[in-house]
């Protein structure tokens, strides 16, 4: 817990400098994450609009709920390409995490925004399945819950490392269950996955926020601004993923379908 005392034990001027740097660091994390969220939902909305049509003569395919798809929509949602779209964000995250140390902070930020756009394409199907009103309502619920959980992670004096490790182990099990249910198509299992998913990403939101804070406090003395810039982007990516996944699981639970 020594990292929580970094500011208090530093001398006056240095403590103020670290405190101001921490606020700037967290502002960058949340700002980068927010821009990523805007890109994601703008991309999802745009792709959904291009993928659907109200003109039967222009429709290339039709979904089970009656939604008519354009040629682009049929390619994205009815062809084998949908599997590529589904798993592209996961592969992107692995590649980004592995390669960020070889990038500049500016390049890493650009790659994050490209990833946000790819995620938007991946989740664009929600605009075809759920009503716009329920998407907005669930988004607001997620935003309120995320803000509270992140604030808790930032302000609590309790070390959340053990909880974070438990949540990460649970996440592995959740991914396995989701893959299995892709073949089983069990509504009961999907409901259980969604409930557990919300709990896991709620816990990860608090854990990741505390980790971002403590990492900054541990490394601020080095004064490596390039490293801190990339750390802020990775922090934004972690919180972005927490938000998106919590939103998607809540949408599965409470979203009104078309």
Chain segment 7-65, per-residue pLDDT in tens: 445 556 666 777 888 999 999 999 999 999 999 999 999 999 999 988 887 778 888 77
- pTM for the complete prediction? 0.90
The answer to whether residue 202 scores a pLDDT higher than 70 is yes
Name the domain count of the chain: 1
57: left (phi over 0), alpha (psi -120 to 50) or beta: alpha
Under the banding of pLDDT at 50, 70 and 90, the label for residue 213 is: very high
Of the candidates 177, 67, 201, 183, the one whose C-alpha atom is nearest the C-alpha of residue 125 is: 67
Percent share of the chain, pLDDT over 90:
68
Domain interval for residue 19:
2-254
Q: Is 63 exposed, middle or buried (0-12, 13-18, 19+ CB in 10 A)?
A: middle
Cβ pair 47, 124 in contact under 8 A: yes
Q: Do the Cβ atoms of 205 and 239 come closer than 8 Å? A: yes
pLDDT of residue 14: 64
């Amino acid at each position: 817990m020594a990292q929580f005392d970094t500011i208090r034990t530093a001398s006056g001027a240095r403590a103020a400098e670290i405190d101001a740097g921490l606020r700037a660091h967290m502002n960058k994390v949340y700002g980068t994450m927010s821009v990523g969220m805007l890109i994601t939902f703008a991309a999802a909305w745009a792709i959904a609009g291009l993928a659907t049509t109200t003109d039967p003569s222009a429709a290339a395919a039709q979904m089970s709920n009656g939604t008519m798809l354009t040629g682009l929509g049929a390619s994205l949602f009815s062809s084998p390409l949908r599997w590529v779209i589904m798993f592209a964000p996961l592969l992107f995250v692995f590649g980004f995490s592995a390669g960020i140390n070889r990038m500049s902070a500016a390049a890493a930020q650009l790659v994050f925004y490209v990833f946000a756009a790819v995620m938007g394409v991946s989740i664009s199907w929600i605009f075809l399945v759920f009503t716009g009103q329920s998407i907005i309502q669930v988004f607001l619920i997620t935003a309120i819950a995320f803000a509270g959980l992140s604030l808790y992670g930032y302000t609590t004096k309790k070390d959340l490392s053990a909880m974070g490790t438990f949540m990460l182990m649970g996440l592995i099990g959740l991914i396995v269950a989701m893959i299995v249910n892709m073949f089983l198509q069990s509504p009961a299992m999907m409901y259980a996955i969604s409930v557990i998913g919300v709990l896991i990403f709620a816990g990860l939101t608090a854990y990741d926020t505390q980790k971002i804070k403590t990492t900054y406090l541990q490394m601020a003395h080095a004064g490596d601004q390039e490293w801190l810039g990339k750390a802020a982007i990775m922090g934004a990516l972690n919180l972005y993923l927490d938000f998106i996944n919590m939103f998607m699981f809540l949408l599965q639970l409470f979203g009104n379908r078309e």
